[in-house]
Structure 1
């Protein structure tokens, strides 16, 4: 199944049922008065996070989601049945953005094109963007939408669109001067919204680095994940998840995230598609292929390039705890390995040297990853 991390859909809550026009008619009670019941409420559209799903692929196949309408009221003061809610499951880590309605919908509602969804057609509350025509961010907000929910744990729910209220039966309109009212009200329309869904992977550790740094090979070595592996840049075009379990039963989720190039913070290469997934990881394992370590000059240049892109996109990303790793050391001889380690030692930065092919350094790296995850979990609890 394809990994899809963004989708745009339309959701429609159910319409409320109409009120009933009815009069009580029983033997010996020729003028029993009104007894029409109210219509039922329309069903809500609810989004629920589920660990069972890993992608938004299904939302590319189906674009419209509708809840059930409420049933009309009945005689004998019987209320109509409420419409069933529509529960839509999404992957854990899904962000829900509310987009502007289409121009023709806004015109029907008597609004300008800066109006936002969140209204019933009978005139309920409408969200509007502030008047910021001179602000370049206004147009961007209209394209991206307004963030209304972050479903960041299994079972998290959000009511995206509320069903319409049921109409009133004629029993509500009797009075001392009108004993036989023939007035009812129709059910209200449910909310209709345009929604943008965005998935940001939730993982304990994110594997980052330049393209072809050996991230996919590492995740396939330490977990049961089997990503596509080849010796050219951008083999990994979508994130891959792997679960690593220790002998003691400790589990951590590791995300192999597509490679980063210079200028990614500006959207170059895989750019923002890469960086948004890094945001949700607890800590990072930063890989650099031994082929990308310069023979002379700054030995940290490859690491620094990626760090700068992280900081340019979001300062909090650069502040995440990192484990620095030089991969593919099986490509150089033992003497060169010793020289490489000595160069890194001079920088005062601890660097793990590993080979996913021979297994050298893998066990100590995994132990360090588990230690860092335990430490981060403890800090979050405090």
Structure 2
């Protein structure tokens, strides 16, 4: 009897979950039909595909202007940037939860042994304390590099970012600042992170003047942009796409080099449609651009925004004036996502040049799911369908 009751309860819970995730579909049969139509509808296929990447990584060309290179994945390029900083700046310190032994993603592995426990050290599990301590270190004149173990847990420190770090220079009339503060955090979906390990919170901080928010697309960009954040005289938040830590491999310069902040990068030129993304989604856009060329004969220009705040409106608008169409994609929920800010700015500046409505392909307005991740992620098929609609508009 008890076993039968458990079966009934589990069935009811499953139906409720399907109804909720499918955007309020009040017919459970209709929701289940959505699952049946999915290419990963069977439990066996779901088990096999759950951890498969939803993107193809496109490596950057080997840099030729920054000296010798070596093969690195993204987390190794982060380690290399931190190593360069500790070696050249005797005031630099790295701290956060578990960073002393390398961190959960191994980004600081070996640095404590090389530079000592006074420069690379663990903190209590307290994000507000980590960022608050970093502000104090930076105000005192040292270089503070803090790690939040997952971007999903950055919110306890939100007050420290918004009301302290971002406003320190303004409220003191530029007599004091905490510009030597950089906060790193693993960011974005990973394929199995679910509610608390897959979020993309960049838009929360994009509303706060005084901060810089940066997201790289690969190892070469990650090292150069992180070193620029550390050198910048404003507090910076550096979000690292965790799914790329090992999946992204490039030839990366071993010495320090700096890539400009607040400057978007045109990673693929085109004439018919502009695509804007950042982080992992850049690689989705590049794959969609190739699909559009092959299947529709459409030439797409792909732009990696790189810096979310302050963002490069000039590069984006110049591209839209040329192509007449704009598609923006990010993993975060669509409502209030940074794509909305880009859409508004481009509509104001380029209205008479637009050949089709600006389109956003983003996450749904739900918490990031687990079982239903394939439905949530703005993958190449959703983006390709958006391109088709825009071209036929």
Q: TM-score, normalising length from structure 1?
A: 0.23
- Over alpha carbons, which structure has the higher Rg? 1
Higher strand share: 1
